[in-house]
Amino acid sequence: MSLSVSRRLTAVTAIAVAGLLATTASATASTAPRTTPPAAPAAAPALAAPTPPDIPLANVKAHLSQLQSIATANGGNRAHGRAGYKASVDYVKAKLDAAGFTTTLQTFTSSGATGYNLIADWPGGDPNSVLMTGAHLDSVTAGPGVNDNGSGSAGVLEAALAVSRAQLQPAKHLRFGWWGAEELGMVGSKYYVNSLPAAEKSKISGYLNFDMIGSPNPGYFVYDDDPTLEQTFKTYFAGLNIPTEIETEGDGRSDHAPFKNAGIPVGGLFSGADYTKTSAQAQKWGGTAGRPFDACYHSSCDTSANIDDTALDRNSDAIAYAIWNLGAGTPVPPGRSFENTADVNIPDSPGAAVTSPVTVSGVAGNAPATTKVDVNIVHTYRGDLVIDLIAPDGTAYRLKNSSSSDSAADVVASYTVNASSEVANGVWKLQVRDVAAQDTGYINSWKITF
């Protein structure tokens, strides 16, 4: 991560994203027993995508071992203008070439030395909608930079190789980048973005950045620059029951900044640098309070021993999750929508279920097999909530079951339901029941789209 500092104090509120559950601040779980009612017909995700792979930690670690060896053989670092950096580029390029990527080595000059960006394109996908994933490959001169940023570079590399192993046929065109001279002020990524014609910039639907994802005293930080990209990562970590926080330490200090400044949506992950982990953060993530997330940040001790395997594994899997969902998924096309925005209080258990009605008219025939339901519920413990869509004839379609492991607040989600046996016109209802005590909340709004 670059040394230049720019901070932003605002946070973007998460919005509903197709097929993605919002994760918000962690709430205290009820001590009452959690029960799971019988399931109604299940709802399908609103984003049709192949199942993301589990990225092998051993493979990511093997790349880090190679980067460590390269640094050791080249004066202890992989910095811009040094032999260790060029050897790092050559290593990554050889892996990608062998896996069937089209690679391009882009050169630039900084501080009197030649720098290199490595760009890799996977064949196929919509050339007018490019999902780009990247990480900086250089270290500082003080050390080998295994966490900063061998970790991000290795995670992105292994995700790219997973694309090849799966012979993925994405909806979007997939492009990967490894940047030079980031430690001198994002020089390489700035050069890349500035060299793109305006028409090419407009084709990049999103850029995902991974700078330090294996910090030894890790946090789980998510970029909040674009709501859709932010929510993708929050959804992944929610599936692991891991709370996240908005990333502020690296704002403006890594390679997403040039893309953001060019108007390109950006997102990414970060496990922390030289900021100190608080007691609250240690309580929810483990590790040691009062210590930096990475005490070896920009130091000679940033070696292969300076990695938390669990954080590296989770974050590498998150990279693949984002690529598969954002790049390979096909969103359900929108249709005619009907919405109820009136607040409906949800009684605490053992209160009865409540409903919020929507009257549908003017839609010919039956509901589609991809009837879309957007839900926005404010609640202190969403794990207690059972949510159903009730068709005009009374048939219940289960959207969400209760779960004792889902210890977070609120439900902001999109679902699709195969309601093709139902006449579209009539009164549809969102039904919500709280199955355990000590919670409060209300239906904020919901929408059905045909």
Q: Hey, which residues are catalytic here?
A: 182
> What's the CA gap between 30 and 449, in Å, rounded?
34
Whether the CB-CB separation of 134 and 176 falls below 8 Å is answered with: yes
Q: Which residue has the tokens 């930096």?
A: 292
Is beta strand 245-246 parallel, antiparallel or unpaired with respect to 221-222?
parallel
> What's the CA gap between 94 and 54, in Å, rounded?
23
For 339, other C-beta atoms within 10 Å of its C-beta total: 12
Give the bridge partners for 332, in sequence order.
none
> What's the CA gap between 303 and 400, in Å, rounded?
45
Non-local (6+) Cβ contacts of 98 within 8 A are none
What radius of gyration, in Å, describes the C-alpha atoms of the chain? 23
> What's the CA gap between 198 and 221, in Å, rounded?
31
Whether the CB-CB separation of 24 and 410 falls below 8 Å is answered with: yes
CA nearest to 311, candidates 70, 17, 64, 84: 64
Alpha-carbon dihedral 233, 234, 239, 244, rounded to 10 degrees: 110
For the chain, counts of helices (H) and of strands (E) = 9, 20
Please report which helix (H) or strand (E) contains residue 92, including its range. helix 83-98
